[in-house]
Structure 1
Amino acid sequence: MFSRKVWRDALVAVISFAAFSGCSLIPGGGDASYPTVNKALERVDSVLDDTLAGVRPRLRWRDGPAHMSERRNSFTNEADGEMDVSRQRHLRTQISQGKKKELLEIVSRRWEEKGFEIKEQNNGRPSLLSEASDGCIAKIDVGGSGDVYISVGVSAVSSGPSGDIAGEEGDSFPEASSGAPDHTPDLRDPYWSK
């Protein structure tokens, strides 16, 4: 039989580990500093809008659906009341191989002006990952088929399940031969596609 001291020491160890590993011990507890899902979505869409407003000549795009991803406690695997709210914006404008680096440089400057810090940069398969002081993550990535997308995500407080956010389905996409949405750029631009 364990003594009270052994139980107390074990409890202190668990609480200390949870505190240093970012775990929530209270199911549904959530972080009070996180915004609601609606406020998080406003932040996500605002960063997407602002990012593309800084690119000249203007680019055309389609919005993907807004999505929530439920976070789970690493000990209990129960929902901890926190979500990641995100959306991807897929460029319709074809970006030529010679202009991809320029586009990433413009986006990088724009994000830094808005307080984001560049955390990762890959020149081989052009991509950038940045983070703001509020934990908002923004990424631009060039896919294998030349598609370019910008994704933004931020944490929120919610007890809802993972999945697309109702009423925030985004734009219609053409259908690929696989039946999935086709994200291939379909518009040429005199500057960006040359």
Structure 2
Amino acid sequence: MRVLRTVVLMAGALVLAGCGVSGDPAEREVKMNMQEAAVRADEILDGTFAAIKPPVNWTHGQSTEGNCDVQRRRAVMTIISKERRGSFLGVIERYWESQGYKQLSVNDSDIPAMYYRTPDEFNVRVLVGSNGQAFFEVATPCVNVSKVSPPKAETVGPNYAGKRIPFPDVKSDFWSAKSSPTSRT
């Protein structure tokens, strides 16, 4: 229960942080609208998933729109074993840092998570649940209000958008393995 409460609080902080310092686009020059921000969030997720080698199966999670921000989510359907979670998070951490993202927080509990901010003020998060399912979220900064279209990226595996996402069910010779990866020299 304590871990769930921590996850909920941290997720709430991520969403709130997505609105920037004041949350009011009138207080700063905003150069994009919610649709453009959603497209940028999708690009962040696309780049992140392209960096994961070997690739994983994933589905769209729920996209939500606030008063001036958008959240895009994806769930990994490939089982990430406890033995490979550190490697999985390491791949993501190295990619995000190579893109200039700044680390905001790390949760090293049974449900590990990393929180980063992009140079253009998008907040990104990855969380790996106890059943080995990774969840990604990108929260946009506060931008000009507009209509928002659903994500266009094709999922790898079944698309559960608008439905309850099941536990991960795809086994990977690498990501689901019950041994630590060996170092390559």
TM-score (structure 2 length as normaliser): 0.72
Q: Does 1:62 align with 2:86?
A: no
Q: Given the alignment, which residue of 37, 40, 46 partners 2:37?
A: 40
CA distance in 2, matches of 1:43, 1:148: 21
What is aligned with 1:51?
A: 48
What is aligned with 2:95?
A: 110
**Structure 2: runs of 5+ lacking an equivalent:** 1-20, 178-185
Q: Deviations over 1:45-83 (max 9, x none)?
A: 00001001111111110012432111xxxxxxxxxxxx1
3-state SS of paired residue (1:157):
coil
Percent identity of equivalent pairs: 23
Aligned residue type for 1:117: K
Aligned residue type for 1:158: V
Aligned residue type for 1:126: P
Higher relative contact order (CA 8 A, sep 6+): 2
Closer, same or farther: CA 143–30 of 1 in aligned 2, 3 Å = farther
Structure showing the higher strand proportion among its residues: 1
Provide the aligned C-alpha RMSD in A. 2.6
Q: Deviations over 1:21-40 (max 9, x none)?
A: 7264xxx8474324111210
Closer, same or farther: CA 67–31 of 1 in aligned 2, 3 Å = farther
Question: Max radius of gyration: which structure?
Answer: 1
Q: Deviations over 1:58-117 (max 9, x none)?
A: 1110012432111xxxxxxxxxxxx12111110011100100111111101100101101
Q: Does 1:185 align with 2:171?
A: no
**For residues 1-194 of structure 1, what are the structure 2 equivalents within 5 Å?**
22=22, 24=24, 29=26, 31-70=28-67, 83-124=68-109, 125-155=111-141, 156-158=143-145, 165-168=148-151, 172-173=159-160, 181-194=164-177
Contact kept in structure 1, 2:125 and 2:136, CA below 8 Å: yes
